Amino acid sequence: MTPITRIKETLAELVRIDSVSSHSNAEIIEYLERRCAASNLVTQRFPYLDERGIEKFNLIALSNPATEVELALVGHTDTVPYDPNWSDATNLTERDGKLYGRGACDTKGFIAAALTAVEMIELSHLTKPLALVFTADEEIGLRGAKKLAEAKPLRVRYSIVGEPTSLKPIRAGKGYSLAEVIVKGREAHSAYPALGASAVFRAARLINRLEAIAIQLKEDRHPAFDPPYTTLNIGLIHGGSAKNVLAGECSFTLEWRPIPTQPSEHVLNLFKAAIQEETQSDPDFVCEVDASRADSGFETAPDSPLIRLLEKATGNNSGTVAFGTEAAQTMALGAESVVIGPGDIREAHRTGEFVPVHELERCAEILKEAVEQLCKL
């Protein structure tokens, strides 16, 4: 069987297993265990219960039992949900050199390439340990990878994290932070505004300050990124109960994507200072901030052997992305990290997501080369 036939067959099997983040990933983990065992990798499951009490698993497969590995290939097992009208979502379909199916691009294509690459390598010839790491719940906040980063079951020197990058090595990514903000007011009849305090007016003043913070953030630049600074967004806002009532409450979401050279709490500190100023001019001002996420970004030096190797193998210069990946968690395991994979991120998370066949094939060759170069020395 040619490598590409094997990759396609593997991808079809992976896509057939529905592994949407909302349910357990046990079935795809069992599949991966079988495949890894057939390649003589030693597997270990890392179970946990998600916030709804559903059992999820991370899986680590090692070329030989070790707690320090030279290279980890990391792929997430979960996918985003799919439209029930997409009848072939779990039935991999090939058209015009593209393979369509939920997860084909994000990130089962990478996993199929990694499994096939490992099968092409004589593992007994490796002199340094290799790990395959399969995670859960990436699509709902990198939760599986965060569990591994906390538990630290491994030390990792280099990690290749699979995400669709059209095979461009990504050496840095912005972080991701989120806060829910609730501004309080006092309800009153709108004909008598002096009897209450509008939470919407208060929130509006605070949001004006956030817009000023967004402008201030442009001064701290990281030229490798587009845009080259931390951005922030207020994506949702809700307030009030009726048109003729002063709003008793107004809530909004504040999201920011910090450049990796800036601590993720920097924006939060600026925001808290803004709240402080509001409180000084309006002693009645009450605001609750629930900072629920602070995922750090990552950056690997452009001259890292891992980046150099992948630039050479792909013929593509390394770059950066403005979205979150599991690379930051693999850095917590000690790794210099890179994100790379077949398919285009703009095709991910859509009905009709696909991965180009030639990129899948190239990805397996590139991973094989990376393993042989990094683990054989």
Residue 92 and residue 9: Cα distance in Å, rounded? Answer: 9
CB 177 within 8 A of CB 313: no
Q: What is the closest distance, in whole angstroms, from the C-beta atom of residue 106 to Zn ion in the complex? A: 4
Sign of CA dihedral 102, 106, 111, 117: positive
Residue 182 and residue 196: Cα distance in Å, rounded? Answer: 17
Q: What is the closest distance, in whole angstroms, from the C-beta atom of residue 348 to Zn ion in the complex? A: 6
Residue 229 and residue 213: Cα distance in Å, rounded? Answer: 12
Burial of 52 (0-12, 13-18, 19+ CB in 10 A): exposed
Residue 342 and residue 354: Cα distance in Å, rounded? Answer: 10
Residues in the interface with Zn ion (CB under 5 A) total 3
Q: Which range of residues in 20-28, 107-115, 236-244, 334-342 is near Zn ion by CB under 5 A?
A: 107-115
From the list 210, 192, 177, 201, the residue with the least C-alpha distance to 250 is 201
- ω before 10 within 30° of 0 (cis)? no
Q: Which range of residues in 57-65, 106-114, 283-291, 367-375 is near Zn ion by CB under 5 A?
A: 106-114
CB 147 within 8 A of CB 46: yes
Question: Which of the residues 78, 119, 163, 249 is marked catalytic?
Answer: 78
Q: What is the closest distance, in whole angstroms, from the C-beta atom of residue 165 to Zn ion in the complex? A: 10
- Supply 334's token pair: 């000690």
Write the binding mask 56 to 95 for Zn ion: x where contact by CB under 5 A, - elsewhere.
----------------------------------------
Q: Which range of residues in 66-74, 105-113, 128-136, 152-160 is near Zn ion by CB under 5 A?
A: 105-113
Sign of CA dihedral 135, 343, 321, 340: positive
Q: What is the closest distance, in whole angstroms, from the C-beta atom of residue 147 to Zn ion in the complex? A: 17
> Does 106 interact with Zn ion (rule: CB under 5 A)?
yes
Q: What is the closest distance, in whole angstroms, from the C-beta atom of residue 353 to Zn ion in the complex? A: 11
Q: Residue 96 catalytic?
A: no
Residues numbered 127-166 forming contacts with Zn ion, rule: CB under 5 A: 163
> Does 326 interact with Zn ion (rule: CB under 5 A)?
no
Q: Residue 353 catalytic?
A: no
Q: What is the closest distance, in whole angstroms, from the C-beta atom of residue 290 to Zn ion in the complex? A: 26
Q: Which is nearer to Zn ion, 107 or 159 (CB)?
A: 107
Among 10, 58, 77, 107, binds Zn ion (CB under 5 A): 107
Q: Which is nearer to Zn ion, 106 or 187 (CB)?
A: 106
Q: What is the closest distance, in whole angstroms, from the C-beta atom of residue 138 to Zn ion in the complex? A: 6
Q: Which is nearer to Zn ion, 63 or 330 (CB)?
A: 330
CB 300 within 8 A of CB 198: no
Q: Which is nearer to Zn ion, 106 or 336 (CB)?
A: 106
Residue 131, helix vs strand vs coil:
strand
DSSP 186: B
Q: Which is nearer to Zn ion, 108 or 222 (CB)?
A: 108
CB 214 within 8 A of CB 208: no
From the list 172, 223, 133, the residue with the least C-alpha distance to 339 is 172
Write the binding mask 223 to 242 for Zn ion: x where contact by CB under 5 A, - elsewhere.
--------------------
Q: Which is nearer to Zn ion, 107 or 318 (CB)?
A: 107
Q: Which amino acid, 20? A: V
Question: Which of the residues 138, 163, 295, 299 is marked catalytic?
Answer: 138
Half-sphere exposure of 228 (CA within 13 A, CB side): 6
- Contacts to Zn ion by CB under 5 A: 106-107, 163
Residues assigned a catalytic role: 78, 138
